[in-house]
Structure 1
Amino acid sequence: MKGPALLLAGILFFSLLDANSKLLSGHYAVGQVIALRFAVLVPLFLVARALRPGFGGPLGTRRPGLHALRVAAMMVSAASFFLGFRHLPLAEGYLVFFTAPLITLALSALVLKEAVPRAAWLWCLLGFAGVVLAVAPRLGGGGGPLAGYLAVMTGTLAFSVTQTVNRRLRAEPGLVGVVLWPGLVGLLVFGPLALRDWVPPPPADLLRLGLNGLLAGGAVVLAAAAYRHADAARLGPYGFAALPVSVALDIALWDVWPDPATLAGGAVVVFACLMSERARRTAAAPLAVPPRREPAAALRRIPEG
């Protein structure tokens, strides 16, 4: 159970990161919040590497193009989720995010040329129908909710690209490509935005802005460790633990309770994702070949001793 336990801890860190960012989003711009996250995360990583030489894996890579694509997708994902959760309760944002396995499945077929069974596609359609079921009642007025859904969907697409690239780079283990290089690029991208929109934070807010770096680093390390102890097929269902965690944070921090449409849509999305993954694994599993039985006469000819 070490793999699932590590993943659940990582999910808790990710959920706390999103909740803390949502609390900060009413006072600070996206550049300042994300730049300070990386300003904490990168030095922590470098200190860990100095104390333990080689920590995080090698600095070089033979596939810089894929790493650049992953870093770009991570930048889009970070900014999009921050902007989306500014307008949405956490549970509603996570409901849209739960379509990531379905989008990743489509990308694996289109980009990686992997065979996807027809049943998996049908479950994908059902999963997106669940999202429509949950968000449709709120789209009539447009405004903030619509912008929030579009931002979270953009972040989900970018996250799915990241996951697809991770599969291509699975032969290159280590945290350098998912912590150090994205952190340095994040400082270059969001640093100027932070300077442009800088709001001097009081000490309490400065601590919370720095806490984002600790939460982001802890979440990445825990998730990476989880996948070293268990495969994706086993860990996949545990990812949906983020939904009850996000509901609990919505209630505790903002006194926002999920409505029936969100609960119904969430149930449909989770069920569709689980069934889609099951259909994919079933199609990929080799047919069981029963062991060949030797004729009784042949067994009698085997010498004893």
Structure 2
Amino acid sequence: MTSLAAPSSNTVGAFCAMAAILCFSFVDLGIKLLSETYALHQVVLLRSVVSLAVFGALIMPFSGGLGVFRTRRPGAHLLRGVFIVCANVCLFLGLAAMPIADAVAIFFISPLAIAAMSVVFLGETVGPRRWIAIAVGLVGVLMIVQPGTAAFQAASLLPAIAAILYGAMHMVTRKIRDTESAGTMTIYVILTFLVSSAIIGFFISDGRFEAGAHPALSFLLRAWPPLESADLWVIVMLGFAGVGGSWLITQAYRLSEAAFAAPFEYVAMPIAIFWGVVFFDTWPTANAWAGIALIIGSGLYMLWREHSTGRTREQPRYRR
């Protein structure tokens, strides 16, 4: 029975990962659209309020009601929340300063980072071929970032930092998956976003630190302008997509081995290119296309190896 249950759990986790990434692609698009007008902490606070309402209406009633707040691991939830908040801040600042496809491509060292971290922190096995795939993916990132050349911009490091923090968040998810439900993990992430953005906004929402020298810094430090009615739909979209993506990605890494689920996140890459072309009239450069191909190719190779080796995984019992 164990050998039959493992592929089923991995398959469900893979579909959850792809659905989550579709949600997160809408978040990336919304953040990019709002980044020239609003402050990052303002957008995150408004999104968190909508996400909290959506969670309360659509997820909490089916996740144990108020029991969703009950946890045995408050410290782990705080650590997980800090990781994902910092990852989002870095990624969103990168989106403000870079073409959306380039930022997302660099961020997609995350499946490679997750595979590497799963060895150190989870004791999962990554063979020599997958280590080579990880190295190839990093070469792809270097082709997009182009360190040491005139094309290099410091903002391109932000999505890379975000990817590492994102991977660290999933390591915590895997550690606490046996005692914490997806609903519990999701609500504490929403609350971490809500509290952190409110605190930051309290101290810098007047724009006193804005210098206007860089798009990312302006997005982080500008004063809070009034919300335009035409932008309200974007905030609502961010709230729905954010809570849906958070719940789905939590399920993905609870149900699947981390190194197995991660490559399915590459579905975001063609979506990001599509958003860039349709909304911002930007195409990846030749170097970026080559880097994207290496990053995606390395991740898909790891996925192929996962299937071809046909290893049997022992899966624990899950709370749902």
Place the TM-score, normalised by the shorter chain, in its bin.
0.7 to 0.9
1:28 has 2:38 as partner:
yes
For the residues of structure 1 that align with 2:274 and 2:189, how far apart are their CA atoms? 30
Contact 1:120-1:280 at 8 Å conserved across structures? no
Task: State which drifts further: 197-206 or 76-85.
Answer: 197-206
The answer to whether structure 1 residue 146 and structure 2 residue 154 are counterparts is yes
Change over 3 Å in CA distance of 1:234–1:175 after alignment to 2: closer
Cα distance in 1, alignment partners of residues 30 and 249 from structure 2: 19
Which residue number in structure 2 is paired with residue 162 of structure 1? 169
Instruction: Tell me the secondary structure at the aligned position of residue 199 of structure 1.
Output: coil
Of the three residues 33, 44, 54, the one matched with 1:44 is: 54
Aligned residues of 2:136 and 2:298 also touching (Cα < 8 A)? yes
Query: Larger Rg: 1 or 2?
Result: 1
Alignment of structure 1 residues 88-127 onto 2, 5 Å: 88-127=98-137
Q: Report whether the alignment pairs 1:202 with 2:228.
A: yes
| Counterpart in the other structure of 1:247 | 273
CA distance, structure 2, for counterparts of residue 234 and residue 56 of structure 1:
33
How far did 1:72 drift? 0.8
Change (3 A) 1:35 1:165: same
2:239 maps to 213
Match of 2:185 among 161, 178, 181: 178
What corresponds to 2:283 in structure 1?
257
The CA distance in 2 between the partners of 1:125 and 1:253, in whole Å, is 33
Distance 1:49 1:237 in 2: 27
Q: Which amino acid aligns with 1:146?
A: A
The alpha-carbon distance between structure 1 residues 49 and 3, as it changes in their structure 2 partners (threshold 3 A), is: closer
Among candidates 61, 64, 84, match of residue 54 of structure 1: 64
Deviation at 1:73, TM superposition (A): 0.3
Deviating more after overlay: 158-167 vs 225-234: 225-234
CA RMSD of aligned residues (A): 3.0
CA deviation map 1:35-76 (0-9, x unaligned): 111111112222346655715964222223322211110110
Q: How high is the sequence identity, in percent, across the aligned residues? A: 28
Residue 15 of structure 1: how far off its partner (Å): 0.8
Q: 2:25 pairs with 15, 18, 36, which one?
A: 15
Sort the Cα spacing of 1:121 and 1:238 in 2 relative to 1 into closer, same or farther, 3 A. closer
Kindly provide the amino acid, as one letter, of the partner of residue 34 in structure 2: L
Residues 254 and 138 of structure 1, relative CA distance in 2, 3 Å threshold: farther
Q: Secondary structure at the match of 2:150?
A: coil
**2:294 alignment partner in structure 1:** 268
Supply the AA of the counterpart residue of 2:146.
Answer: A
Report if aligned partners of 1:42, 1:179 keep a CA contact under 8 Å in 2.
no
- TM-score between the two structures when normalised by the length of structure 2: 0.77
* Whole-angstrom distance in 2 between the partners of 1:63 and 1:4: 26
Residues in 2 aligned to 1:122 and 1:18: alpha-carbon distance in whole angstroms: 30
Query: CA 1:13/1:275 → structure 2, altered by over 3 Å: closer, same or farther?
Result: same
Q: Is the 2:190–2:243 Cα contact (8 Å) retained in structure 1?
A: no
Amino acid at match of 2:285: D
Contact 1:109 1:116 in 2 (8 A): yes
Question: TM-score, normalization: structure 1?
Answer: 0.81
Shift of 1:103: 1.0
Q: Secondary structure at the match of 2:272?
A: helix
